[in-house]
Amino acid sequence: MGPGPNCDIIDRPELRDRVKVFQDRAHAGQVLAEMLASYRGTDTIVFGIPAGGVPVGVTIARQLELPFDVSVVSKITLPWNTEAGYGAVAFDGTVKLNQGLLPRLGLSEQEIQEGIRKTTSKVARRVRDLRGDAPFPSLAGRSVILVDDGIASGFTMLVAIEAVRGAKAEHIVVAVPTGHSDPVDNIASKVEALYCANVRGGLRFAVADAYERWSDVSEEELIGILADFKS
C-alpha cells in the first residue's frame, strides 16, 4: 500500500491511553519487535533517530536479525528555549520549517538562518561521530523501518521520512513505542505503515510518560550502543 489517508496504523489496543507501559527503551524495542515480526530476516534496514531512537532501534534490529544504521535528524531550537523547536535538519541536508508556528515566534530572518546553520553543523558533527567514514547504505528499492522513542509533535520524524524518501527507499515504515494520536495519524499518511504500541490522546502528551525509567541518552552512550551492535 502506498502512502495515503488509509495507511495502516498498527497499535496494541490494550495499551491505548495508558502510561508507564514500558520499563525502558530496550523493553519498548522488544514490544515493537514482536509487532514487526513479519520483517524478520528480510532486506529491510532499521534506522534509529538519535538519541532516544537508537536504543529502541538496536533492540528491534537485533531481535529481527536486520541491519541497523542511524538517521541523524535534529530540531532547530529557539534561541531562548533549547527544548522547543521550529524546524528540523536531516543528515542529507533536508531542512523543514514549521511554517504554521513561525509567524507566532517573532524570529527575524537572520535568527532563522542562524538556527539552520547551527543545526546543520550539529547534524554533520553527529553523523561523523556516530557513523565515522562509513558510506551511507543504498536504499534504492529497499524497505526501511524508521524508529524513534516516541512521537510528540512528529516534526522530526516527518523530516526523517523526507530524507529517506529522497534516498529512494521503496517502502517506509515508522515504528515508535508511543505517540500522540494526532501526529500519529498525520505521519501515517506519509508512509506505507506505522507501528505505535501505545497511542494516546488528550491535551497533554509527554513521550517520557510511557516509560517507567527515562533519561536522556548521551553521545557517549550512543557510541557505545552502536559499537556493541557491530561487535
79-106 pLDDT per residue, tens = 888 777 899 999 999 999 999 889 999 9
The CA distances from residue 24 to 56, 104, 174, in Å, are 9, 36, 19
Contact 200, 17 (CB under 8 A): yes
Report the distance separating Cα 174 and Cα 56, nearest Å.
12
Sheet holding 95-97, edge to edge: 73-78, 81-90, 95-97
Report the distance separating Cα 186 and Cα 173, nearest Å.
14
Report the distance separating Cα 130 and Cα 143, nearest Å.
22
| pLDDT value of position 7 | 60
| pLDDT value of position 6 | 45
Residue ranges of domains in the chain: 8-72+139-230, 75-129
Q: Is 215's pLDDT higher than 80?
A: yes
| pLDDT value of position 1 | 35
Percentage of the chain beyond pLDDT 90 is 83
| CATH architecture of the region 8-72+139-230 | 3-Layer(aba) Sandwich (3.40)
* Residue 29: pLDDT band with limits 50, 70, 90: very high
